[in-house]
Amino acid sequence: MFPVMLDLENRRCLVVGGGGVALRKVQGLLEEGALVTLVAPEAVGPLAALAAAGRIGWERRAYQAGEAGGFWLVVAATDDRAVNAQVFRDADDAGIWANVADDPELCSFHLPARIRRGELQLAIGSAGEAPFAARRLRGLLEQRLGPEWGEWLAAAARFRDQVRRLGLTAPEQESRFDRFFEATVDGENLTARVPTRAEQQQWLAAGPDERRVEPAATTPAPGPGPTAAAGLVSLVGAGPGCPGLLTVRGRRRLAEADAVVYDRLAAGTLPCDLPAAVELHAVGKAAGSQPVPQEEITALLVLLARAGKRVVRLKGGDPYVFGRGGEEAEALAAEGIPFEVVPGVTSGVAALAWAGIPATHRGEAVRLSLVTAHDAAQGEESLVRWDLLAGDEHATLVGYMGVAALPEVVARLLDAGMDPATPAAVIEQGTTSAQRRVVATLAELPAASARAGLQPPALLVIGPTVGHADRLDWFGRLPLAGQRLLIAAADDGLAFHLEDAGAEVVSVPLPLTPAARVVMAARPLTGCLVRRPDEVDGLDDERCSPGWGAEVVAWCVGEATASRARDCGWQRIEVLEEALDPAGLVARIAAGPRAASG
């Protein structure tokens, strides 16, 4: 087989069949901008919805011999092999590429398993011989390749343009490309980073023995001044992690956006129904690393805005509370780029509430101090007056980014005279399904946190109000607290019932959008609720998502849905009664799997 990548933008493509497999094929074609015609007497709900919305054309009839010849690419996905064979013969006779789902003998091309990070695509194929192997390899690489690869490729493309404008010889160009690759890619760990501007300028500089040639005429790079067509950058606070805490104004700005530049901690709050045309740029940092330097993030915002785009810079918490939003706003103002700030709920208040800890309480805490905990490691250069904080008995002290610096913070406060018995807590991933907390005295907190294995992102809370944590732990008492459930979007209000019971619900449209895939991968799923066989088909390819591990329970409504999940190889299948009301459904999921199944 000869591997190729096809440009399907505005190409007329035919899909024959109206089931779940056809849905997956239509989804893939639409993602690449194809003009899709569906031929089927009946179609599953999501396909019918696409037709009703005008996104595909639907001929509600059986396939007619010879009609495949009028398209650029053809896919057959019916449950009748004779029909599939007829479609393939018609396309093959007309010299048109055709694929019959799960039938390698009736294919002139095969669809590989794909991994996509922005414009970077990796395809894994087996010439149709062992799709299960290709799919498992895809799952392995999905887990290893982070979202930073998309921004890395975008940076590589910009670097290539800069190199080409230098007018260098081919070997000299390759030398610079080597510098870029070797400095930004960790081949052993399969990670990548975006280089700083200073690094790129260093790599672009000519060596002493290199010969410059006159560059070919090129379009000059945009200047730094403002343009009349500049778009708007909205610095939007996504809140602490719970999707429901995104503000109404923030949600509206996302719905209007042409491009979204988002942090890792904000990924789970992206609306899953963002259109596929919206550009998604992952620039967030994980603990101990920063894939995209701040200066490159700012440059990206300017670049997108100068193209006239409506840009949302989606940041965890509030943009101006330890979010470097002020730096980005200053840079945008200096460039003449219109911007606005949409405040968000900061974790220093919300995570406390989710953990049963009031930020203030009459007679106990009348002040609230928010600090960056890692400042404790700065020694004499620290800007925090730990001595004053240690002596304030009627305040709540909240330390952001508090895990790594926890021992230093506690040591500084104890050295300054704070009572070792002061109530304290660490809250990991507050307001999300992954929330955990450790409550102890100040002196005992570092050891207790280490025993629990708490990891960033986490908050440190110190003060008398921590003593209310057990009595006011409303969230931890909810029956579905700790559950992160994936469901296909519907209008029956089911997601609200599950959320009210404490679950973090990822409600995705079918076909899935790129934003939905980002949200799915933001945190581990605990379960997937499917109500019809076509939903199983629509979600089957997503089981390679980084958020979908072996522990995910497939909650299948009805035996027909469960049977389809078994046919697709799903694990940990639990059958739910079709007559279950929302309260019964919550109780059943809260009870957990009855037994190992599959």
Catalytic residues: 263, 285
Pairing of strands 279-282, 259-262: parallel
Q: Which residues of 555-592 are buried (b: 16+ CB within 10 A; e: fewer)?
A: bbbbeebbebbbebebebbbbbeeeeeeeebbeebeee
- How many Å apart are CA 494 and CA 512, to the nearest integer? 19
Token code pair at residue 333: 């103002």
C-alpha angle with apex 221: 219 to 223, nearest 5 degrees? 130
Contact 49, 26 (CB under 8 A): no
Which residues have CB under 8 Å from 303's CB, separation 6+? Answer: 222
Pairing mode of beta strands 120-124, 73-76: unpaired
Alpha-helical runs (H) found in 475-581: 494-500, 514-522, 533-539, 559-567
What is the distance, to the nearest Å, from the Cα of residue 268 to the centroid of all Cα atoms in its chain?
Answer: 6
Q: What angle do CA 421, 427, 430 make, to 5 degrees?
A: 150
Cα dist from 455 to 163, 429, 430, 432, whole Å: 41, 9, 12, 14
551 within 8 A of 461, measured Cβ to Cβ: no
CA atoms within 13 A on the CB side of 253: 27
Q: How far apart are CA 246 and CA 18, in angstroms?
A: 37
Structure tokens at 431: 């307001």
23-34 burial string, b = 16+ CB within 10 Å, else e? Answer: bbbbbbbbbeeb
Neighbour order of strands in the sheet with 484-488 = 504-508, 484-488, 527-530, 553-557, 573-576
- Could you tell me which of 87, 82, 83, 55 has the C-alpha nearest to residue 71? 87
- The pairing of strands 484-488 and 527-530 is parallel
Q: Tell me the β-bridge partners of 458.
A: 428
Q: Which residue has the tokens 């929330």?
A: 435
* Helices and strands per DSSP (H, E), number in the chain: 19, 24
